[in-house]
Amino acid sequence: MSLAERRTGTGAAPAAVRPGPAAPVALGIGLAVLATVVWSGSFVTSRALGDSVPPVQHAFWRWVVALAVVAPFGARRAWRQRALIRRHLGFVLLASLLGVTVYNTLVNQAGVTTPAANMGMIMAASPVLMALWDRAGGIRLGPRRVAGLLLACAGVLLLVGGGTSFSAGDLWMIAAACCFGSYSALLRRRPDGLDGAGFLFTTFFLGTLMLLPAHAASVAVQGGFSATPGTVLPLLYVGIASSALAFFAWNKAISLIGPTRAGIVYYLQPVCVALLSWALLAEPTGWAQVGCMALILGGVVLGAGSRT
């Protein structure tokens, strides 16, 4: 395995998260930004489909589409590494459960009753959990990174506390934030030598398989949904862009810059979700929210770009 492969996240994750040249760090931050922006659209989609597609069926077909997209690139690699995957099956199953089966199902359930802007704001709590997992693992965060984390977190807290009303669906989003933060922290323990595309295909496959019984129960109890452009096109977006593209970008970002720095970039999400929900769903955005977003952006710039 070449040094280039390890630095791009297709090889050993522990070697890739060590401080390196500026180019891999910039690439990692860019990939984290890409994943965050694309995922912001998925929150808007979850909200938009909340009344037409049952949450479990939304999640199931999202991952079926994602699996079909990733299969040409990852299936053969996963097969070649089947012995390695079997040796680390517990890790792979846990990653599949947290990142695929549970996380997006909770997001979709929240979208039934929670505005998209609220969903993005609550999900912004997940970087705190990523940082705590990093610190528990003995990783030194450094003063600039902590300062950026706190500044972005302050912006989120002010945004949430600015008169936003909460619904029962916000509890689902809190659970989703915990799942995603734990999944991201888990990625730095990816087994040495496990190929990035093969890992992605395997987690998509196992996560979809674990969703199958819940999907069958949902169809039996709630009935199916109508396949119209208004349902199929959003499902294609979350399956191709928010799943295949964004997860691949995020996993590589974690391997390059680690979960804490990527988590600070993730604070951009409430900004992106608020703007998208304002543009596409006519959810209101005021000047107070704009000011809080500026705090979040400042924290991202301060913390994500620092080496200490």
**Which residue range(s) make up the domain with 272?**
18-304
End-to-end CA distance of the chain: 29
| 3-class SS of residue 98 | helix
In a domain, 6, yes or no: no
H/E run at residue 159: helix 143-160
The pTM of the whole model exceeds 0.85: no
In angstroms, the Cα distances linking 17 to 149, 185, 233 are: 19, 12, 36
- pLDDT given for residue 17 in this prediction: 44
In a domain, 290, yes or no: yes
Quote the number of domains for the chain. 1
In a domain, 145, yes or no: yes
Look at the alpha carbons of 133, 238, 209, 211 in this order and tell me if their dihedral is positive or negative.
positive
Written as one letter, the residue type at 291 is G
In a domain, 112, yes or no: yes
- pLDDT given for residue 7 in this prediction: 42
Distance CA 171, CA 303 (A): 28
In a domain, 153, yes or no: yes
In a domain, 1, yes or no: no
Closest of 195, 226, 231 to residue 74, by C-alpha: 195
Distance CA 131, CA 136 (A): 9
In a domain, 250, yes or no: yes
Query: What tokens were used for 186?
Result: 């888990």
In angstroms, the Cα distances linking 285 to 13, 157, 196, 277 are: 39, 16, 38, 9
Mean pLDDT of each 10-residue bin along the chain, 308 residues long: 43 43 81 88 81 91 93 92 93 94 90 76 71 69 73 68 60 85 83 85 95 95 90 91 88 84 76 72 61 68 56
In a domain, 86, yes or no: yes
